[in-house]
């Protein structure tokens, strides 16, 4: 359907709305905001708009970001376009008409205030159909556990940007596993590596948001 293709393009290239001057080659064209509204008015169901429009665009962005074909500013514009479109779908999420793939609890670990990378992971997850419960920065093990207890069946991801704070991941992973040995824990952030992930008994490491999405999709059967 042509309108779904246009919605996907708006997310891919970060076209928020008609007035938005970015990207220059799409100036004057309708953005994700107007197109999602129009699609709903034309009777396209919200689930189709999400899965065949918005998510398709965000999947392309994730791959391009991994391949260094786009950079943080472009991803942020794509996330803004995605959010503009999602605003119109929010009532359908709330009514249960649109099913998300699952819940993902995300936080930057205790002692660490860096949140740009964590926010990118969160935006990409949301753009790929997950409900993201963002606990923010400086998150202690108790906060992760409370969120997991309140949202059973969620996946959980820890981010750290400092070699000092990444050590706190070990304690947080241990506490989470003590509560539920089956709980899958993702870790990431610049100083983290696969070797470190294995050492602290976390389940999955990814250097980028796309890897998180791919593994989450596998775990959720999505
Ligand atoms: Co800070 N800082 N900083 N800083 N800062 C670094 C990280 C540093 C490398 C700079 C340097 O010295 N060259 C250094 C760490 C050194 C080290 O530990 N070895 C450092 C330091 C030392 C500090 C302070 C201690 C400085 C001081 O006060 N003396 C202090 C610590 C504060 C604290 O946290 N307690 C500090 C403070 C800050 C600011 C507040 C000023 C600011 C943060 C603002 C914010 O986040 N809101 C800041 C910034 C911006 C940086 C740099 C410049 C940029 C980090 C960033 O946002 N990168 C950084 C140097 C650098 O990287 N060039 C630096 C962009 C972001 C998109 O990448 O976060 O890696 P990143 O996320 C990536 C991946 O890692 C991955 O996906 C993202 C997208 O690809 N990813 C995940 C991230 N989380 C993931 C989770 C996953 C999977 C993938 O699964 C769950």
Nearest residue (CA) to ligand 1, atom 70: 190
Q: Mean per-residue pLDDT for 65-91?
A: 93
Instruction: Report the pLDDT value the prediction gives residue 97, as an integer from 0 to 100.
Output: 78
Distance CA(123)–CA(52), nearest Å, equals 18
Nearest residue (CA) to ligand 1, atom 11: 162
Ligand 1 centre from 60 Cα, in Å? Answer: 25
Q: How many CB atoms lie within 10 A of CB 32?
A: 31
User: Ligand 1: which atom is nearest the Cα of residue 112?
Assistant: 34
User: Ligand 1: which atom is nearest the Cα of residue 65?
Assistant: 80
Is 218 buried (19+), middle (13-18) or exposed (0-12) by CB count in 10 A? exposed
Task: Inform me whether the pLDDT recorded for 93 exceeds 90.
Answer: no
Whether 21 and 27 have beta carbons less than 8 Å apart is answered as yes
Specify the CATH number for 2-95; select among 3.10.590.10, 1.10.1240.10, 3.40.50.300, 1.20.120.1200: 1.10.1240.10
Spatial strand order of the sheet with 130-134 comes to 130-134, 102-108, 155-159, 185-188, 204-205
Choose which residue among 65, 73, 108, 117 to substitute to test ligand 1 binding: the one with the highest number of ligand atoms within 8 A of its C-beta.
117
Sign of CA dihedral 152, 155, 159, 164: positive
Identical fold for domains 2-95 and 102-220, yes or no, is no
Task: Inform me whether the pLDDT recorded for 19 exceeds 90.
Answer: yes
Give the angle 203-193-183 at the CA atoms, nearest 5°: 15
What tokens appear for 177 in the block? 């596993």
Ligand 1 site residues, Cβ closer than 6 angstroms: 72, 111-118, 120-121, 157-159, 161-163, 186-191, 206, 208-209, 212
Ligand 1 centre from 33 Cα, in Å? Answer: 32
Kindly report, residue by residue over 110-131, the tens digit of the pLDDT.
Answer: 999 999 999 989 988 998 999 9
Kindly report the average pLDDT of the chain as a whole number.
Answer: 95
Instruction: Report the pLDDT value the prediction gives residue 95, as an integer from 0 to 100.
Output: 77
Specify the CATH number for 102-220; select among 3.40.640.10, 3.30.365.10, 3.40.50.280, 3.30.70.100: 3.40.50.280
Structural domain spans, the chain: 2-95, 102-220
């Amino acid at each position: 359907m042509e309108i779904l293709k246009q919605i996907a393009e708006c997310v891919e290239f970060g076209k928020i709305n008609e007035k938005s001057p970015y990207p220059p080659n799409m100036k004057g064209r309708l953005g994700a905001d107007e197109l999602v509204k129009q699609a709903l008015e034309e009777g396209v169901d919200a689930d189709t708009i999400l899965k065949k429009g918005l998510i398709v665009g965000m999947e392309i962005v994730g791959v391009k970001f991994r391949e260094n074909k786009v950079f943080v500013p472009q991803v942020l514009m794509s996330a803004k376009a995605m959010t503009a479109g999602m605003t119109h779908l929010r009532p359908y999420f709330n009514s249960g008409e649109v099913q998300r793939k699952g819940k993902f609890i995300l936080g930057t670990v205790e002692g660490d205030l860096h949140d740009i990378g964590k926010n990118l992971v969160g935006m990409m997850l949301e753009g790929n159909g997950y409900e993201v419960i963002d606990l923010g920065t400086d998150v202690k093990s108790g906060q992760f556990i409370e969120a997991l207890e309140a949202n059973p069946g969620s996946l959980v991801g820890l981010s750290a940007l400092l070699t000092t704070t990444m050590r706190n991941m070990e304690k947080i992973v241990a506490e989470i596993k003590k509560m539920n040995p089956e709980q899958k824990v993702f870790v990431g952030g610049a100083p983290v590596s696969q070797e470190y992930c294995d050492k602290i008994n976390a389940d999955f490491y990814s250097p980028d948001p796309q890897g998180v999405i791919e593994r989450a999709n596998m775990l959720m059967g999505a």
